[in-house]
Structure 1
């Protein structure tokens, strides 16, 4: 089975990749730190009474950092997905006994299952996290049946 990548699929795959990036453990720590900074800056404003001075900018800076993190994550995910599978690319996936076989355009790869650390299925993409790296491989969800997904999870762990 193959699928031709279009703009809608690219947007969906990038969205799934961005959600993954924004909810992984390191990102959760970042969100907790930013939320704590926001809470402390608001408490500091309350303690200063009516004269906040420069500390009045801290809540705005905290919210700005949060927005910046979201925007940059989305932009990075879009760029990565687009460069790996530009619109018009024909993509295919086949599960082998010891490796995942992926093709995109004129390129193909045989990737041993031990290369991956985890599997996460989104609405439009199946995301395979590489072991020992922060990188992921995204494949269109429409190429992976529920049985294939169960097989991937069993083989990857």
Structure 2
């Protein structure tokens, strides 16, 4: 089993904080009230998850773009085209209410995982990439599901 290097693991886990915080403030009204008072209403509940989720999908488009630079020709062109999908998805699919936006973000992160796997299969990612992406995606999707259910 390939170990995820410490820096990407710690930074990836730190990147989950807004998703987890958002879910906790949905489940715990006292935390939501404190967070809204101390941080502002945009930084609690579904609002922090939806805004940050859009940012992360755009960020991951950049990561995939970087992987596409490792090849040339038609495979690079395909990689560049595929790498734009998460950012475009976030841009077009996260309007409307929080339930619809959270649902679309869940699909966006699931689709991103498929793109991660394609880039992994093409040998463009580090060998530990899918272990990290599976872990992070599982947490993100779970947190977004809390937004949808509650």
User: How high is the TM-score relative to the length of structure 2?
Assistant: 0.28
More helix per residue: 1 or 2?
Answer: 2
Rg (Cα) greater in structure: 1
